[in-house]
Structures are given as C-alpha cells and as structure tokens.
A and B are shown apart, each in its own frame.
Chain A
Amino acid sequence: MSNAYRTIILARMGEIALKGLNRGKFERQLMDNMRWRLKEYGAFSIVQSQSRIWIEPKDSNPDVLEDKENAEQVLRAVTQVFGLVSASLVRRFSGDMEDIKEQAKCLTDDILAEHDYKTFKVESKRGNKRFPLASPEICVDVGEAILIAHPELTVDVHEPDFTIYVEVREDLYVYSEKVEGHRGLPVGTAGKGMLLLSGGIDSPVAGYMMASRGMQLEAIYFHSYPYTSERALEKVKDLARIVSQYSGTILLHVCNFTDIQLNLYKNSPQDMLTITMRRVMFEIAEELANKQGCKCLITGESLGQVASQTIEAIQITNEVVKTMPVFRPLIGLDKEETCNISRRIGAFETSILPYEDCCTVFVAKHPKTHPQKKHIMEAEANLDIPALVKQGVEGIETYKIERTSKA
C-alpha cells in the first residue's frame, strides 16, 4: 500500500507564462528542448497544463524515476532547460484521504532519514472539486497524520524546514522539494549567436547567459599551437560541452591563429598588439557568423577588467564589426559574480585549469589602455588585414560539441 505510487516530475514555467500571442511558440520550443534534453534517459510523456509541465516515464522505461539517484539526475537535467523556474519529484497515486495521509507520512519518513528537520507545514490544492474535503481540511488532516507519526516535529506555517505539498486532481499527488530551474527563455526562440570562446572563466558564462535568453550558440576559439597546447583546445571543448548542457549542441569553430599572430607580432607595435589582435579576431568571427547565419557576436568582456576592456579599447575593437551587434552580457558584472555563475553551471573547475594559454609572449608589458584612432591607424599601417581575416576564416576546423560527445 505504502509503495503504491509512481514517481513523476512536475516542472513550472517562468517568464513564458507572461507572453502574449506568441506564447504557443515559446511553449512548443520548451517542450522540444525538454524532449531533447531527456532523450538519454529514455522516453517520457511530457504534457503541459497551464503554466505547469508534467513529465512521466513512458511504458518503455517505467522505472526510470523509481531509483532515487537516477530520478535526481533526470530532475537536474530538467532544471537545466531554460524556461523553467523550478521542478519537483512528485509521487502520484490514487485513492482517498487515507492514501494521501499514508503517502505524506512515507514522504516525511524519507525526508527525515536524510535531514535533521524540526518543523514543517502542509500546503494543498484541490483541482478536483468532487473530492469531499476542502484544501484547508486536507492540510489539517495530513498535518495531524504526520504529527502522530513524528511527534518530534512541530508545525511552522511561516518558516518551516520543509513543506509537504498535496494536490488533488483526477489522481492524487504529494511532493516536497522544489529544485530551482535556470529560468530564462527556451533556447531556439531568439536566433543564433557566435560566442568568442576562450579557455577562461568569462566567455562560457557569457554563452550561458545569452543561451538563457533563448539564443542558440555557435562558438569560435582562436588556437595558437604551439604557443598554446593541445590541452588548451581540449579544455575549450570541455567548456563548450558544459555550456551545451544548457544551450544544446554547439558548433565549435577552431581557428588556427598561430601564423596570423606571428604576422601581427612582427608587423605591428608591441603596445597595440592586443588591440590589433582582437580586431582581427572580431573580423574573423563576424565573417564566420554571417556565413553560419548567426545574428550577433557574444564576448565575455567586462568593463575595466583588463587593458583591452577599457571603454576606449572596447570601442576600437567594436568598430570593426559592421553587420551585427556585439553582446557583452558580463559588461557590468563584478568578477566575483561571474565566478559564482561559473560555479553554478559547473564550468569553474574546468576554467581554472592551468594550461589556458602560453601566449604570454604575445602580451606586451605595458599595453595601451586608452588607444585612439590614430594609434590603430599607425598600428595597422603595415598589415594586410583583409588577407589575415581571409586566412583566418579559411583555416577553421569545426567540431560538433554535444553534452554527451567525448570528441
């Protein structure tokens, strides 16, 4: 009797619910993304009802959520889909008030086995108005049953350690924990952007943030082997894979940048090297973005963080991009905030691995922090920029990065 329930997942939509006429488009995308995200765990029926989504294993894998560890993995995957505010593992069963009390007690047993909680409350919703008791009465009865089973607990309706939720619909439901989702909008509802991805902390976060606004991602990485190692490239692939858990498949374009960098080094002044290099990178990224149907560039720049991120330096690199906006979602963030997001999405440990780049040889000791137009004119006087950009675009190798691929 006490085990006669089935575990399913209840997810709650966020911002989408506020959409007007095109709400349907957002919802369809969200359902598609969830189906895609859960594919590796088997077949699920995903049904939307108002602002909530019910996820239930299909008959081909009925027990996938009955194993606790497995269920938590699936739940985590659900919360990684942009567009959801939270999700819960829910016990569904049928019967009457006695069954509700019994299930609520079992759930409490399981919770107390893992947590040292002292206080609780019960909340209930009655969708099925034919059910004989009203919501407040359900709460009282269930609360009483829990108190009898666990006299050490007390009720606290304001700040309980845990809450037991009861829902009465066609079937009956109890659950407790709500796991926060990553919110945002479903990927695929806001076009596609080209992320300038390095091996550092910032750019993966920038990609994640734009994806959270519904943007699909492609990425470009500038590889300077042998000044940077093969491991640095592997690390970038790992970072792209981490972001792809949220954003979906990422096409990673690796631009062989060594010869271009050497050319810049030999033919432009030291203190402007970082700027000229970034201008060429932006131009290559823009051309590739146009080719790939991306509508913007995305960078991890944050104002004032390093010499190339002063307003003058940003302006002077920005101006080479003529056909699309450059989005800089971290522009006003403190480094610590960026690190926190990086930790939350699971990228931080990978980002701080040491072999990010060995091209410190190319970094001037005293780069110009406030470059002006005339400086860049001088710096680029001896450079054939269009040829360098062409060389960069032609030397691109593309990898398809999926969250499960180990390429």
Chain B
Amino acid sequence: MSIYFDNSATTKPLPEVARLVYETLSGEESFGNPGSLHRLGVLAEKDLNESTSKIARLLSCKPEELFFTSCGSESVNTSILGYMHQNPRAGKKIISTKTEHKASLESLERLASEGYEVCYIPVGSDGKPDLPALEEAIDANTALLTFTHVNNESGSILPLDKIVEIRNKKNRNAKIHLDCVQSLGKLPIALSRMGVDMASFSGHKIHALKGFGLLYIRSGVRVQPLILGGGQQKGMRSGTQSPYLASAFALALEKAYENIDENLEKMTALRDGFVEKLQKFRVHVLSPEDALPYVLNVSFPSFQSETMLHCLEEKEIYVSTVSACSSKSKKVSYVLSEMGIRREIAANAVRFSFCRFNTLEEVDQVIDAIALIYEKYEV
C-alpha cells in the first residue's frame, strides 16, 4: 500500500464526495444550469443555494458573502487585484510578506508594476511576520494587508488576532485578506468573528475536488470582479456555477468540521511521534515548533531534496519538495530562505504533509523506509 504524505499539494477526494458527484452527474435531472428558467434550472439553483447555506453556516458568515471560483489562486487574485482596483481612494499601499503563495506574490508584483506601493514585512525563523515592523508599516495610505493563515511549506500559523489588533489600532480602514487554503478544515475558521474582510479557499485541499475555489467578501467590502460575463453571483464572478462541485465542497467541509479539534490533537501526536523518530537521522526540523501539525518540513543531511523524494517514491511514499535541483543551478525554497534557513539545509528540505486519515503506523513505515534509504543510497 502506498503512503500519501503530500496532502498540502492535494488530497484524495472522500468516498462520500466521489459518490455524491457520481450520483449528481448520472442523475436524469441533476445536470441543469442554475441560471435556466425551467425546472431543471430551478433544481440546480436550489442545490447550489443549499450548499452555499451549509458552507456559510460552517464558516460563520452570511451566504451572500460567499462566491464560488475555479481555484484558490483565482480567489486570491480577485481579492488582491479586485479590492485595490475597485477602491482607488482607499490608499495605494499594500502590506504582505515574501513567504506568501505565488498566487499572492504575483498579484502583488502586478500591482507594484501598476504603481502601487507594496511593502513586505520580514518574517522570523518561526515564519511569522515581524509585528513591530508591521505596526510601523501601517499608515493612512495602507489599503490592504494580505497574509497566509497557514504557510504551505513550513506550516507556520499566522498570529491573526495580533495582526487584527494592530490594524485596528493603526488604520481601521485597511482591509485584511487571508489566504486560508492550507488552514481550512484544519483550524477552526469563523469568518464573522476573525476581523478579516476577504478570504480565499480551495476545494481539493480538503478532500473535495479540483476546479473549485471559494471567495469570502465581507458585506460592504467592494471588489472588482476578475471574470466578466453573464453576471452570475451578483456579477462578482460570472460563469456558469457548478452545483456538484459546490455540494462536494460543502460535504467535504462538513466532514472536516465534524471532529476538527480531535483531529488537530491526533495530528499533533502523529507529527510529534514522527519528529521524535526522525531524530536518529540527525535531521533538521525546519517547521517551527508551534506550526500546524499537518505540515512538517524536514532537511535530511546528505540527501538533496529531490533525491530523497525519489528514494521515497520508489517505496511508494509520496512527499513534496520545492527545491528542484539540476547540475547547473540549485533552486531552494524562497519561503525557507526568507525564514533565514541556510542554503545547504534548505537544499535538502522535504515536506511531509498529513491529513486526518494518516496513522502512526504509516509514520513507522516511513521511518523504516528512510532507514533503508540511508543504508542503500547515502553517499
């Protein structure tokens, strides 16, 4: 049996999700366009509305604050570009960090090239933004703060409460966009009580399907749409909606929330056990101690990232690395570099990312596999 420790890249859809999608797609009357005036359209719209309500309830927001997109990146792009473009008088400054996902960084680059001022706050070795620097950076011209709730490479958790507090103190009008792609279903998220104005989510990271993203825009916040067309979703995001992707997402989210606290405890035990057993390989644990336990970044001495990845792959264990190497250039993760991790350590970094279905037995099997890898392939 293979072991999948790459859940931050994508997850296996739940069997319930697969069944629901199959039934919806093979039903005689369940394929309608929610915009159609006839009965099939009405059925599809009803289905869609039910999903929206369920998601809103789970995320503690209003249904009309939610918009369905095609992926997390689209949600992030829409939030960052759309807010800045729609509100030219809110200010020209955006604050972020250099450890964001590329969906954010590329949007920020675009804005910088359009003349906006993008201010990157440094992060510490724990991956968290430097709060005094943030406090200093927020001024009257600051329109938007955009941060990642949980970093996809290190698992660092954003000190959101403190950031909201600083924002409230310095400039209440500055909006916050939160990239929740990695935290959804793992940390409790109650949008109406978090102090954020926009948030982005993705379906396939929570055992739903690829091709579905979610965008939260708090009531009263105005954002320019990215996709234009038939005016679906109140014109915020045109394009025919997919009721089955939405209901798959709603179902997966519901399942994730069922035991969210127990799962977090279980994953903490799993991660801690893994870290303890990894010590015999003299590894460097690169994820901060207080990181989300679902993500563990580890550097293996004497194994370049990609070599370790393929060694594990050979044993049907799937993990990730962002450090691709070639004989000519060695690219290391920009996230790890920003955290101040030395190049030669970052070059050997491997990311293990878990889901609630992973077990301690799997951890033991991976440890055994790593022992064999060291025996055979260490050079």
Task: Give the interface of A toward B (CB within 8 A).
Answer: 225-230, 262, 265, 354-363
Contacts and interface: CB of A to CB of B under 8 A. Distances in A.
Contact of A355 (B304, B324, B376): B324
Interface string B138-181: 00000000000000000000000000000000000000000000
A363 B330 CA distance: 14
8 contacts: A226-B307, A226-B313, A226-B377, A230-B310, A262-B376, A358-B304, A358-B310, A363-B327
B326 A362 contact: no
Nearest to A357: B327
A388 B343 CA distance: 36
A336 B309 CA distance: 34
B325 interface: yes
B311 interface: yes
A357 B377 CA distance: 16
B379 A358 contact: no
B326 A361 contact: no
**Main DSSP-derived SS at the A contact region:** loop
A227 B326 contact: no
Nearest to A354: B326
A235 to B, nearest CB: 11
B314 interface: yes
Contacts of B379: 262, 265, 361-362
Given A361-B307, A362-B379, A225 B327 contact: no
A361 B379 CA distance: 7
A356 B307 contact: no
Contacts of B326: 354-358, 360
Interface string B286-313: 0000000000000000001011011101
A360 B325 contact: yes
- Of B307, B311, B377, most buried by chain A (CB within 10 Å of CB) is B307
Contact of B377 (A262, A355, A360): A262
Contacts of A227: 307, 310, 377
Interface string B330-361: 10000000000000000000000000000000
A315 to B, nearest CB: 24
A233 B141 CA distance: 53
B314 A226 contact: yes
A225 B325 contact: no
Nearest to A359: B327
A225 B314 CA distance: 9
Nearest to B305: A358
B310 A356 contact: no
Nearest to B311: A226
A230 B309 CA distance: 11
B321 to A, nearest CB: 11
Contacts of B314: 225-226
A170 B310 CA distance: 66
Nearest to A227: B307
Contacts of A354: 324, 326
The 5 closest A-B pairs by CB, nearest first: A226-B310, A226-B311, A354-B326, A358-B306, A360-B327
Interface in B23-72: none
A228 B309 CA distance: 10
B111 to A, nearest CB: 29
